[in-house]
Amino acid sequence: MLRSLVRLPVLLCFVLTACGIADETEVEAPPGAPLPGLSLEEAEQFSLGQTLFNRAFTPEEGLGPLFNQARCSSCHDLPTSGGHGAEPVTKVSHFDELTGCDLLREEGGDLLQASVVPALRAAGILPERIPVSATAVTELRAPSLYGIGLVEAIDDDDILIRADPDDLDGDGISGRPGLGPGGSLGRFGSKAQHTTLGEFIENAIRGEMGLTTPTHPVEEMPNGLPLPEGTDPVPEPEIEASDLHLLEAYLRFLAQPPRLILDNAEDQAASQEGESIFGSLGCATCHTPTLATGRHHSAVFNQKRFRIYSDLLLHDMGPDLADICAPGARPSEWRTARLVGLGLRSEFLHDGRARSVRDAILMHGGEAESARDRFQNLTPDSRRRILLFLRTL
């Protein structure tokens, strides 16, 4: 009952035009395109940031000494720059019921770097190995970044209003907010561990490319060991704050991809029925269809409704999907994945283990178990309609 009451103002706002929330199509464009309606200054920032996002760095420019990729787009290039990626990264952690989550910083951190620059290899340092103290290892697939600026522009209260950590309404769904640094509300990352888009980007720049930043000028150490002298000749920081701001602007202004229109008219009609079935199963409780941004100084973000199919909260997905942890999330807890752009992917779940959307649904457990079972009990035709609907996202 509590969850229903707190959602009432939001639902009424979607119904009443007086709320002033823009139509969701205003923030959509083909994959890789900028948000419609950018100012000249915003469009210039987007273009400059896109160039930097696709630029390959060299060791002479600060790449490494430990790294995974030389450019941002190596992990986010499907179907365009800024999309998802096929290249997995290895993450590790140690979890203890008493002491909680340890990201193994003394052993090199939770992200393993699979490459080293020639100078480091010549000094006898090889790519990082899985620490012996790790209790979990996983291969994460890079998510799509389309529309991520819209996620940043949602007011905190509009995320928190959907949280029900103690399951007061008794529906078996206990979504709770993830925690960023200092206990702030997290909304980015598979464990909702990053608070801002800037923090999310800087974390990737440092871990994936080995570039030091003004706020983090210390190099990552191979499995926690000191770097041999002479293997990191580039002075810190290796990337300036101005470049980070351009990368932030590029990702912030990436548009949301539109719904896919199925070639077969009969399938398209069935997909629309599938959306209703999706909601009736309870899937939309966590995969919230739409959210809205708050008041914003930029016109492209000011009170915009957009499709997201996520509540941005952490949910327990059961033991079969449990692996790594985060400071604010247990091994089985994952932030609800955004389903927008699902039709552009060929691998599913955080580690890509599911090769079809159907398989991904059937692997849901924990808080999603009831919805999964209802999906299994549908007629084959109803299941087909849901899958057609999800393909259009």
- The confidence score (pLDDT) of residue 344 equals 96
Q: Dump pLDDT digits (tens) for 33-69.
A: 999 999 999 999 999 999 999 999 999 999 999 999 9
Q: How far is residue 238 CA from its own chain's centroid?
A: 26
- The confidence score (pLDDT) of residue 21 equals 58
- The confidence score (pLDDT) of residue 1 equals 32
Report the 10 Å Cβ neighbour count for 153: 22
- The confidence score (pLDDT) of residue 16 equals 36
182: tokens are 């200092």
Where helices occur in the chain by DSSP H, the ranges are 2-15, 40-53, 118-122, 148-152, 156-160, 197-209, 241-252, 265-280, 357-362, 369-376, 380-392
- Asked if 210 contacts 64 with a C-beta cutoff of 8 angstroms, the reply is yes
- The confidence score (pLDDT) of residue 6 equals 36
Weakly modelled stretches of the chain, pLDDT under 70? 1-23
Sorted by where each begins, the domain ranges of the chain are 2-257+282-377
Angle between helices 197-209 and 241-252 (to 10 degrees): 120
- The confidence score (pLDDT) of residue 2 equals 31
Q: Dump pLDDT digits (tens) for 309-319.
A: 999 999 999 99
pTM of the model: 0.92
Q: Which of 186, 149, 139 is nearest to 49 (CA)?
A: 149
Q: How many helices (H) and strands (E) does the chain have?
A: 11, 11
